[in-house]
Amino acid sequence: MMGLGLCWQCGVALTLNEVAGICPPCRWAWPLLPSGQASQALAALRCGAQVWGLGFRLCGARGTDAVVHRMKYGAFPEKGRALGHWMAQDWPAPPPGSVLVPVPLHWRRRARRGFNPSMALAEGLASVWSLPIHDKALRRVQHFPSLTASTRAARLSVLEGTYAATPVDDDGPQKVVLVDDVLTTGATFRMCRRALEKEGHEVLGGVWLGLA
pLDDT of residue 10: 85
Q: Average pLDDT by consecutive 10-residue portion of the chain (212 residues)?
A: 68 81 90 90 90 94 90 88 95 97 91 92 98 96 64 63 89 94 94 96 97 93
What is the gyration radius of the CA atoms in the chain, in angstroms?
Answer: 17
**141 inside domain:** yes
Task: Read off the CATH number of the domain in which 106 is found.
Answer: 3.40.50
Enumerate the β-bridge partners of residue 98.
175
pLDDT value of position 103: 98
In a domain, 8, yes or no: no
Contact 178, 201 (CB under 8 A): no
Nearby residues of 169 by Cβ (< 8 Å), 6 or more positions away: none
- 19 assigned to some structural domain: no
Query: Is 20 inside any structural domain?
Result: no
Q: What is the pLDDT, as a whole number, of residue 3?
A: 46
Domain assignment present for 81: yes
How far apart (Å, rounded) are the C-alpha atoms in residues 178 and 200?
15
pTM: 0.88
Number of structural domains in the chain: 1
Question: Domain range holding 61?
Answer: 31-211
The Cα 210–Cα 64 span in angstroms is: 8
In a domain, 73, yes or no: yes
pLDDT of residue 111: 84
Q: Three-class SS of residue 181?
A: strand
- Does residue 150 form part of some domain? yes
